[in-house]
Amino acid sequence: MGKKYKLLNKNSTPFLVLAVAHIVAVVILLRRSNQGEVWTLLLTNIGLTYLFELPTLNLFHGYRYKPRLFKQSIFDTILGAIYSQAVYVPITGTILSILKKNWIWKLSMAIIYYFIEVLFKRIHIYKVFWYKSSFTPVLIFLFFHISDWVAKALIQNKAWALKLAHYFSIEVVWITFMYVFGVFRKIRFGRKYYHTWTEHFQLAPWYSLVLSYTALVTSRWAKHRWLYPSFMIIIHMVIDKVLMSMGILKSRFKAFYVKSLWYLCLPITSRLLYKLIYHYRRRDYASMEA
């Protein structure tokens, strides 16, 4: 793992202050609203913002974050992206949707994020390349409306919305795992003999997206309790074997119990999220109907 800076420094403090403010806000929302509804929408929103991050940051390097928590700039950039796309924007979108705020609130928050971005550029903790800051308020305003649309569909128990929420929830967990395992050098993706960190963060999200889709599809067999995890583990092992044979994936999971935990993690995570989304929604919808 790359050498780290101090947790609190002049670069990291603005990121952390914003993160704490958003986390406090969502904790208050969780205490005052239906927790299942909040968590389902929040994970779905994080999944949506992760999809935005994939082309703009991971693939085409439109901007760079500089919280100065790691010596290696790629870890810093991805961590900054997690702050932005897993904390700031999706939490705000979730709060606005759950509280049913109108377009004035949405536009105001989009403009606030624009000025935060401008401030971050001025104090040199955020740098843009081909990406334009003028894109930010437009995209965030659009995202807030998508969040409303998804929230409404979830409340109505729309099948496509529940599947989307399940898929994005799995995706969020696994993309986050790829970051953590990458930091601790337990797993690494690349195209040649020497796998760069840039290649890792370009390829790891695709790996997570494929596994998440596989977990979503096989979860349809959830009524067969032994069949679902068995298929999921086999498919996961086959994908890893193929990627390793092609030299795309390197893994340091050697011990049997570690490998077992690695392959059990996906079906367990998927099943827990399935229960969170479907059981909460069914119970809540039934209480609304009553």
239 exposure class (CB count in 10 Å sphere: 0-12, 13-18, 19+): middle
> Average pLDDT of 26-31?
94
pLDDT, position 8 = 77
Checking if the pLDDT of 159 tops 70, the result is yes
pLDDT of 283 above 80: no
Q: What is the pLDDT of residue 151?
A: 95
Task: Please write the tens of the pLDDT for every residue from 236-261.
Answer: 999 999 999 998 998 888 778 788 88
**pLDDT digit string (tens) for 188-209?**
888 877 778 888 888 889 999 9
Instruction: Enumerate long-range contacts of 16-20, CB under 8 Å, 24 or more apart.
Output: 18/83, 18/87, 18/88, 18/116, 19/83, 19/87, 19/88
User: Domain locations in the chain?
Assistant: 12-289
